[in-house]
Structure 1
Amino acid sequence: MDREIKSNAITVANVPNTDRISRLNELFFVEFKCSPSFFVKVPGRVNIIGEHIDYCGYPVLPMAIEQDILIAARVINESKIYLRNVDTKYTKYDINITNNSEDIEIKPDTNGKPFWYNYVLCGIKGALEYLNKDNINGVQFLFHGNIPPASGLSSSSALVSASCLAFIYAQNEIPNKTEIASLCAKSERYVGTQGGGMDQAIAFLAEKYNAQYITFKPLNAAPVALPEDAVFVVAHSLAEMNKAATNDYNRRVIECRLAAKIIAILEGISCDNNIITLSEVQIKLAKSLEEMVNLVKKHIPNEIYTKQDICKILNVNQEKMENLYLTANTKSLQEFKLKQRALHVYEEAKRVEDFRNACGQSENGFANTLNGNISQNGKNTNNTLNVLGKLMSESHESLKTLYECSHENLDRIVDISKELGVHCRLTGAGWGGCTVALCPKDKVQEYTDTIIEKFYVNYCRIDKTKAKQYVFVTIPSHGAMIYKY
Structure 2
Amino acid sequence: MSANGTSDEVPVRGIPNNERINRLKQHFCQEFGCDPLFFVRVPGRVNLIGEHIDYCGYPVLPMALEQDILIAVAILNKPELHVRNVNNKYSNYETEIKSCEDINIKSDPNGKPFWYNYVLCGVKGALEFLNGKITNGLQLCVDGIIPPASGLSSSSALVSAACLALLYAQNVPLSKSEIASLCANCERYIGTQGGGMDQAIAFLAEKNCAQYITWSPLKATPVALPENAAFVVAHSLAEANKAATNDFNRRVIECRLAARIIATCAGAVTDNKIITLSQVQNKLDKTLREMVDLVYEYLPKDLYTKEEICDILNVNEEELEQLYLTPNTKHLTEFKLKQRALHVYEEAIRVEDFRKHCSQTVSNGNGVNGVNGNNVPNVCENGDANEIINVLGKLMSGSHESLKELYECSHDNLDRLVSMSKEINVNSRLTGAGWGGCIIALCPKEKVNKYIDLLIENFYVKHCKIDKGEASSYVFATTPNQGAEIYVNK
- Compute the TM-score of the two structures, normalised by the length of structure 2: 0.95
**Is the contact made by 1:123 and 1:187 (CA closer than 8 Å) also made in structure 2?**
yes
Residue 261 of structure 2 is aligned to residue 262 of structure 1: yes
Per the alignment, in what secondary structure is the counterpart of residue 173 of structure 2?
Answer: coil
Deviations 1:127-162 (A, max 9, x none): 011223634201100000000000000000000000
> Which residue identity is paired with 1:441?
K
Match of 1:8 in 2: 8
Q: Does 1:475 align with 2:474?
A: no
Q: Secondary structure at the match of 1:152?
A: coil
Q: CA deviation at 1:101?
A: 1.6
Output aligned runs, 1:106-125, within 5 Å.
106-125=105-124
Between the aligned partners of 1:152 and 1:294, the Cα distance in structure 2 is 31
Residue 257 of structure 2 contacts residue 337 of structure 2 at CA under 8 Å; is this kept in 1? yes
2:424 pairs, out of 420, 427, 432, with 420
Partner of 1:157: 156
The gaps in structure 2 that reach 5 residues or longer are 1-5, 363-367
In structure 2, what is the equivalent of residue 81 of structure 1?
81
Q: Kindly provide the amino acid, as one letter, of the partner of residue 462 in structure 1.
A: I
Structure 1 counterpart of 2:196: 197
Output the CA distance in 2 between the equivalents of 1:151 and 1:77: 37
Aligned twin of 2:390: 386
Q: State the alpha-carbon separation in 2 of the partners of residues 214 and 108 from structure 1.
A: 32
Match of 1:227 in 2: 226
CA deviation vs aligned residue, 1:98-118 (integer Å, no higher than 9, x gap): 0x2233111111121110111
Contact 1:123 1:188 in 2 (8 A): yes
1:457 corresponds, among 457, 461, 473, to 461
| Aligned residues of 1:238 and 1:409 also touching (Cα < 8 A) | yes
Code of the residue aligned with 1:278 in structure 2: it is L
Paired residue type of 2:354: F
1:469 CA drift (Å): 0.3
Cα distance in 2 for residues equivalent to 1:147 and 1:298: 43
1:253-304 alpha-carbon deviations (Å, 9 max, x no partner): 0000000000000000124110000000000000000000000000001000
- How far, CA to CA, are the matches of 1:376 and 1:284 in structure 2? 35
One-letter amino acid of the counterpart of residue 429, structure 2 = R
Residue 469 of structure 1: SS of its match in structure 2? Answer: coil
Paired position in structure 1 for 2:3: none
Counterpart mapping for 1:286-365 below 5 A: 286-362=285-361
How has the CA–CA distance of structure 1 residues 275 and 17 changed in structure 2, closer, same or farther, with 3 Å as cutoff? same
In the other structure, the counterpart of 1:19 is 19
Distance in structure 1 (CA, Å) of the matches to 2:190 and 2:31: 28
User: Separation in 2 of the partners of 1:242 and 1:113?
Assistant: 8
Contact 1:228 1:369 in 2 (8 A): no
- 1:369–1:390 Cα change, 3 Å: farther
1:50 maps to 2:54: no
Q: Displacement of 1:367 after TM fit? A: 6.3
Separation of aligned partners in 1, 2:78 and 2:130: 18
Q: Given that residues 208 and 378 in structure 2 are in contact (C-alpha distance below 8 angstroms), is that contact kept between their aligned partners in structure 1?
A: no
- For structure 1, the residue ranges without an aligned partner over 5 or more in a row are 1-5
- Residue identity matched to 1:325: Y
The 5-angstrom pairing of residues 130-141 of structure 1 reads: 130-132=129-131, 134-141=133-140
Distance change (3 Å), C-alpha of 1:107 and 1:408: same
The CA deviation at 1:171 is 1.2
Given candidates 442, 446, 449, the residue that maps to 1:442 is 446
User: Is the contact between residue 189 and residue 195 of structure 1 (CA under 8 Å) also seen in structure 2?
Assistant: yes
In the alignment, the residues of structure 1 paired with residue 227 and residue 299 of structure 2 have an alpha-carbon distance, to the nearest angstrom, of: 42
2:409 to 405, 408, 414: 405
Residue type at the aligned position of 1:388: L
Q: Is the 8 A contact 2:370 2:380 kept in 1?
A: no
SS for the counterpart of 2:94 is: strand
TM-score by length of 1: 0.96
Letter aligned with residue 116 of structure 2: Y
- What is the match of residue 365 of structure 2? none
1:78 positional shift? 2.3
Task: Give the direction of change, closer, same or farther, for the CA distance of 1:12–1:257 in structure 2 (3 Å limit).
Answer: same
* Structure 2 CA distance for partners of 1:378 and 1:348, relative to 1, 3 Å: closer
Q: CA 1:104–1:301 in structure 2 vs 1: closer, same or farther (change >3 Å)?
A: same
1:179 offset after TM fit, Å? 0.4
Tell me the secondary structure at the aligned position of residue 24 of structure 2: helix
8 Å CA contact 1:228, 1:366 repeated in 2: no
State the 1:378 CA deviation.
9.9
Distance in 1, Cα, partners of 2:145 & 2:270: 44
Q: What is the CA–CA distance in structure 2 between the aligned matches of 1:242 and 1:370, rounded to whole Å?
A: 37
The answer for the alignment partner of 1:188 in structure 2 is: 187
Residue 96 of structure 1 deviates from its aligned partner by 1.0
Distance, in Å, in 2 between the alignment partners of 1:379 and 1:441 is 17
Contact residue 72 and residue 140 of structure 2 kept, 8 A: yes
Distance in 1, matches of 2:114 and 2:383, equals 50
Q: Which residue of 2 aligns with 1:36?
A: 36
What RMSD, in angstroms, separates the aligned Cα atoms of the two structures? 1.8
- Secondary structure of 2:391's match? helix
Q: Using a 3 Å threshold, how does the CA distance of structure 1 residues 459 and 135 change in structure 2: closer, same or farther? A: closer
Deviation sequence 1:364-417 (CA, Å, 0-9, x none): 999639999997799621221111011000000000000000000000000000
Distance of 2:353 and 2:149 partners within structure 1: 29
Aligned length: 479
**More displaced stretch, 268-277 vs 145-154:** 268-277
Q: Structure 1 vs Structure 2: percent identity of aligned residues?
A: 65
Please state whether the residue corresponding to 1:274 is helix, strand or coil: coil
SS in 2 for 1:362: coil
**1:174 shift after superposition:** 3.3
1:59, 1:35 → 2: CA distance? 42
